[in-house]
A and B are shown apart, each in its own frame.
Chain A
Amino acid sequence: MAEKILDVKNLVVTFDTYQGSVQAVRDVSFHVNKRETVGIVGESGCGKSVTIRTVMGLNPKSNGSVKGGQAFFEGRDVLRLSEKEIRDILGNRMSMIFQDPFTFLNPTMQVGKQITEVYLRHHKVSRKEAEEKALSILRLISLPNPEQNMKRYPHQLSGGMRQRVMIAMALICEPAVLFADEPTTALDVTIQAQIIDLMNSLKEKTDTSIVLITHDMGVVAKMVDRLYVMYAGKIVEQGDADAMFHRPRHPYTWGLLDSVPRLDERTKEELHSIPGMPPDLIAPPEGCPFAARCRYAMKICQRQMPDAIPLEEEGHAAACWLCHPEYVKQYGVTRREGKENGQ
């Protein structure tokens, strides 16, 4: 077994709003191995960002609260560290790239300063050395004219350059884990491709594990080793990229895959969207949260949601009654329509 760098167990997070308490994350477990790229995929509002921000201790303390679970990072449960201890990890051992490189960069600070700031926070070096380090990292991620661009303000840079600055900020301390929260969503398509290529090349050049959070199966396909699919605060399916893309077993995963446009496929297949809306997490349904939108829903789905059911391949599991041995025994294996046996 590979070494687990991050191991989150049974995480439960709720938010108090004035309409009620939102159960944003409901018993989520996942882990990240060393030098591995893991994807967490789901629609917006499914709890994927909340999960990551909870692990990083970034949720606003006033209304976000961890109700249970553990998150072991380099041997320590980060949910139980003091503020100071977690601050020593953030930006240093664990860092994050955010969705919108415009709003997530300080508009009144030169980008160079925003990058060196992280390094100076975690290393006892001079400003000069920090700038050297920033330059080297900017070269690594191939930002054009790094010397000049470091003196610029965010609004003077293009979207792709801004995202590179964000990446530089996140990587300058050579973290063990890099969380990327929808790193390409706010960018246009060509820039998206560049950023994906860049992140892929970083996997080769650094020892950093990457956790990619996105709603876009297309982005994930190009990057990850392993994949978690999240829905309504729960992980519904998980497994190796190969298994997940070719032999998915949860109807929600099928829905996500159907909604990705594929240029390389000749079949004149319609591009699907999943009908309906995710459930209200203030009062989540008792049974499977996806049942109301699921074409395969059964009576039992309304009553109870199964725990993750391990499947034939190592690490592949799905929380769906269709995968339950009892169901399989009676009706056989149900697979994604039109994609029998994967292809």
Chain B
Amino acid sequence: MENAKEKMIFQADDFDRLPPPSQTDAAIARKQTTYWKDVWRTFKKNRTAAVSLAVIFLLILLVVFGPMMNEFDYRTNDYSALNQSPNAVHWFGTDNMGRDIWTRIWEGGRISLLIAVLATLIPEVIGMIIGGVSGYFGGWLDTLIMRFIDVLMGIPSLIYMILLMLVFGSGSIMTLIVAMSLTGWMGSARATRGLVLQIKARDFVTASETLGASPWWIIVKRLIPNTLGIRVVGITMSIPSVIFYEAFLSYIGLGVTPPTPSWGQLIKAAGENFRYYPYQFIIPCVMVGITMLCFNLVGDGLRDALDPKLRG
């Protein structure tokens, strides 16, 4: 306060009035970044998640091109080269029938990842349709579907899956995907329904009435970007659990049938003589481990990036 008493040297024009404030000048708002750009930026900053994403891309590349990188195929037995440790010819060694493990790993990865992706996306879409219908039409249909979902969610999906595998006959990739799809759509249906109800309450009346667009079209148009945003974490997280289910079903003898490899199948086959040929066991385990880990970490990263509350 004392400073004000100090002699202050003023310039001649110091007390000249400025033009009155205009709204545009005054609004020096902070630069607005778009939502997804923001999410992506936060995600990239999370080094674990970014590295995991890179590892997933690498795995996908290997799964696609790995089997072509040497001359072996996944089912030709070579009895002159049984149970070889990893070497220059067989990079990951051979199994008890002389098959090249490198090729089988990536061939198996194709199957495991294919199952994982399809058994995640198909139920997601089924759920979106059922949830969308339920929320859109409302009324008794909605009540019926929701009660049905309540009941189905109560049944442990694994048991249900096992029964379906028994019914459809285990062994084929299709069966696995169908069984997993039939047991996994409920969560997505619930989420979608909630969203549809929200959109209906907010936009549907105004937007459709003023623009004359079909409300169904508006819901679909609004639904897909919104659901993706909300479900993307769930989808990412469900891939590792599907990989785990596949491995589990293979373990109890309900997975794909040999000689078709899948990671679960490879683990099960090698687990029996782990003590003698540990590499046969460890390599597919590492693949499953890395995949599950990376998808989980990417999911974590996405969730942190999407949830502004946790941003620090």
Contact = CB atoms under 8 A, between A and B. Distances in A.
Q: Do chains A and B touch in the complex (CB under 8 A)?
A: yes
Interface of A: 18-19, 62-63, 275-277, 279-280, 282, 291-302, 306-310, 317, 321, 324, 326-327, 330-331
B4 A299 contact: no
B18 A309 contact: no
A307 B28 contact: no
Contact of A301 (B1, B18, B312): B18
A275 B16 contact: no
Contacts of A282: 30
B95 to A, nearest CB: 50
A292 B28 contact: yes
Consensus secondary structure, chain B interface = loop
Contact of B27 (A276, A294, A299, A301): A276
Q: Which 9 A-B pairs have the closest CB atoms?
A: A276-B26, A300-B14, A297-B18, A309-B4, A307-B3, A292-B26, A293-B26, A277-B27, A299-B16
Given A299-B16, A302-B18, A326 B26 contact: no
B265 to A, nearest CB: 46
Nearest to B13: A299
Contact of B15 (A19, A275, A277, A330): A330
Given A299-B18, A308-B4, A324-B8, 6 more contacts: A293-B21, A299-B15, A308-B1, A309-B1, A321-B15, A326-B10
A204 B249 CA distance: 75
Contact of B28 (A275, A280, A308): A280
A280 B4 contact: no
A307 B1 contact: yes
Contacts of A331: 15
B169 to A, nearest CB: 50
Interface in B262-312: 311-312
A18 B25 CA distance: 26
Interface size class of B (residues with CB under 8 A): 20 to 34
B23 interface: yes
B1 to A, nearest CB: 5
Given A276-B27, A295-B21, A327-B15, A63 B312 contact: yes
A306 B29 contact: no
Contacts of A275: 21, 23, 26
B4 A298 contact: no
Contacts of A324: 4, 8
A290 to B, nearest CB: 10
A324 B14 CA distance: 12
A96 to B, nearest CB: 23
B202 interface: no
A310 B14 contact: no
Contacts of B16: 298-299
B92 to A, nearest CB: 43
Contact of A291 (B11, B13, B18, B45): B18
B20 interface: yes
18 contacts: A276-B27, A277-B27, A277-B28, A280-B29, A293-B21, A295-B21, A298-B14, A298-B17, A299-B16, A300-B10, A300-B14, A306-B4, A307-B3, A307-B4, A309-B1, A317-B1, A327-B15, A331-B15
B214 to A, nearest CB: 40
Contacts of B26: 275-277, 292-293
A300 B18 CA distance: 10
Contact of B21 (A19, A297, A310): A297
Nearest to A29: B1
A324 B18 CA distance: 18
B68 to A, nearest CB: 44
Contacts of B17: 296-298
Nearest to B14: A300
Contacts of B18: 291, 297-299, 301-302
Contact of B29 (A277, A295, A309, A330): A277
Contact of A310 (B1, B25, B312): B1
Nearest to A291: B18
B27 A298 contact: no
A308 B18 CA distance: 22
Contact of A280 (B10, B11, B30, B45): B30
